[in-house]
Structure 1
Amino acid sequence: MYLDLVIALNAAVNFFLLWLTGLIIHQKTTLKRLVAGSVLGAVFILVLLLPSGSSLFTWLGKTLLPPVMILVSFRPRLVSQGILLLLVFYFCSIAMGGLVLAFSLWGRYPVDFSRGIYYLPAPSLFCLLFAGIFLYFLVRWLQPLLLEKLNFHLPSVDLQLEISFCGKSKKLSAFLDTGNMLKEPFSGSPVAVAAYPVVEELLPPEVCKVLNSSRKIDWDKLEKALTGINNAARFCLVPYRSLQGEGFLLGFKPENVKLWQKGRNINFKGKIVIGIQQEQFASGTEYEVLLPMEVCRFAGRQEG
């Protein structure tokens, strides 16, 4: 098989595995990112053609390649989210490889045994295609189990979070972020993350003035601004750690929070904090606030 065909086939398999990873844990991304991640993984096959003296580099590349593919394809915001994506990607890869091997053996392809090693022929395109289809339907069949036992997903169709603060109320389109495990350190309340522009109208003018002054929060100015407002006690600091570093988000405790879905609502009064992210979410995203996993568990208890 020509090298360009090998790379193309490898890219197609990588794309399927990355797409399936996002499907399992409902991690949104874009087609461009998936293509970039899959092509990056496919091009690595060229490293295998380097001289044998580069075995250390080859093994280093094999170790670093999956995390890099995950970073390029999904851009996880938190370390825990990246680890979850990586583990699911490994699971999909191993399952795909096992299915291809099983279908190859069932197809009675000749197996060569020499010096204690089994030598298998390259799998046919039929085996790859059939294994992919089988794995896809297997994931679809297991989704209820993942939802119930592993809390991978709160059905995120038409989710909206209604936030009431400082006498104002606003509904934001929401998405359950499986990697969001942030908590306010003193109360232990889970934290939903929203970009500053979408919650600006809910905040006191004194706070908005500080947040608008620069891309990074001047905590000294913010402290002075909070001393002049009545509901300063409703603001807090939320520590976070992400792939880009660590720091603090400014958070506030709404008077009331409701989660809406298809006419139904769940009240989270006093049970959730809104963390303010200075920059906007990535362009093309359809959500305005990222919900923590604790929302899924609380919703399950409410409905149970």
Structure 2
Amino acid sequence: MAYEWYADIFCLTSLLMDFCAVYTAGIILNRAVSWKRCMIACVFGVGVSVSLLFMIPRYAIYSLLVHGMVHPLMTLMVFGGRDRAGYLRALLTVYIVLFVMGGVQNWLTVLNGRKTGQIIVYGFVAALLFTGYQVRRRVMKNVCRVEVWLSGKSRILWAYCDSGNLLRDPDSGAPVSVLEQELFEQLPQDTVRKKEISYRTIRQEGSMMVVLLDRMDIWQKGTKKQIFKPEIGLQKGPVMQHPRVQMLLHASYFA
């Protein structure tokens, strides 16, 4: 049986599948990936895949090279490779998404024919990506740039304007924002003032170490707000699932 191969259809289909897989993996992992970087990586991957298809006659070797070299390089271009565990999670997620998309497409192809199955799968993936994009867009609208100062040294980071953060110092009544402890440890520790306060939420209660900084500058919607002597609570580990956010601002700062 002879098969006809259409290069344009192959390239467009591969590009769409790879882009959907990589971008969906970014949404699942809650990673701040750019759709432009995803597209560049996928164009690179499709270009290399087509070149290998012409150069290597044996399909088994071609498949091994695509899955062992092309897709890992695409994932590296999008997610980076500094964190090896994070890179491996991203690569595994990309393959899981590709596996699920391929399985659903084959199932729908058997039921409704090839063209109908592809249209349904791509429509579903497009709706999923659009929903994830809208959710991320709403979250990033509440993210602002913050510069914290201590003993003449500063650190610039990204903070989330958390309307649910109503934590206050029970002694002074001052609002308390929450910062990743690992980030605070990069600032000078000689003259910092520390104390422990208690807190209570719906799910848990306990104590938190609070430090007093010299100043905090908040940039939001083109304006700059300076907070002198802000109280900052320290939390071990990430303060939010989004990797870009390193601090939760108190609700009173943007009310």
Normalising by structure 2, what TM-score?
0.54
Matched, 1:295 2:253: no
CA contact (8 A) 1:191 1:272 kept: no
Task: Describe the shift of the 1:36–1:139 C-alpha distance in structure 2 as closer, same or farther (beyond 3 A).
Answer: closer
Give the residue type in structure 1 aligned to 2:213: E
User: 1:204-239 deviations in whole A, cap 9, x for unaligned?
Assistant: xxxxxxxxxxxxxxxxxxxxxxxxxxx56479xxxx
Unpaired runs of 5+ residues, structure 2, are: 161-179, 193-210, 222-229, 251-255
Give the deviation of 1:82 after TM superposition.
Answer: 1.6
1:80 to 65, 85, 109: 85
Partner Cα distance (1:58, 1:86) in 2: 16
Partner Cα distance (1:191, 1:232) in 2: 12
The root-mean-square deviation of aligned C-alpha atoms, in Å, is: 4.7
Matched, 1:128 2:104: no
Give the residue type in structure 1 aligned to 2:150: F
Give the deviation of 1:67 after TM superposition.
Answer: 1.6
- Which residue number corresponds to residue 51 of structure 1? 57
Unpaired runs of 5+ residues, structure 1, are: 110-122, 176-187, 195-202, 204-230, 236-252, 274-292
Matches within 5 A, 1:171-210: 172-174=157-159, 189-191=181-183
- Which residue number corresponds to residue 96 of structure 2? 91
- Which residue number corresponds to residue 199 of structure 1? none
Give the residue type in structure 2 aligned to 1:166: S
Task: Describe the shift of the 1:294–1:2 C-alpha distance in structure 2 as closer, same or farther (beyond 3 A).
Answer: same
Partner Cα distance (2:25, 2:231) in 1: 30
Partner Cα distance (2:213, 2:43) in 1: 48
Partner Cα distance (1:42, 1:193) in 2: 44
Give the deviation of 1:97 after TM superposition.
Answer: 0.7
Task: Describe the shift of the 1:140–1:88 C-alpha distance in structure 2 as closer, same or farther (beyond 3 A).
Answer: farther
Partner Cα distance (2:184, 2:109) in 1: 47
Task: Describe the shift of the 1:168–1:86 C-alpha distance in structure 2 as closer, same or farther (beyond 3 A).
Answer: same
Matched, 1:35 2:39: yes
Task: Describe the shift of the 1:268–1:84 C-alpha distance in structure 2 as closer, same or farther (beyond 3 A).
Answer: farther
Partner Cα distance (1:84, 1:254) in 2: 37
User: 1:52-96 deviations in whole A, cap 9, x for unaligned?
Assistant: 3x8546414422222211112333542233223222212221121
Give the deviation of 1:137 after TM superposition.
Answer: 4.3
CA contact (8 A) 2:25 2:93 kept: yes
User: 1:93-131 deviations in whole A, cap 9, x for unaligned?
Assistant: 112112111211221x4xxxxxxxxxxxxx32x422311
Task: Describe the shift of the 1:75–1:174 C-alpha distance in structure 2 as closer, same or farther (beyond 3 A).
Answer: farther
- Which residue number corresponds to residue 23 of structure 2? 19
Matched, 1:255 2:213: yes
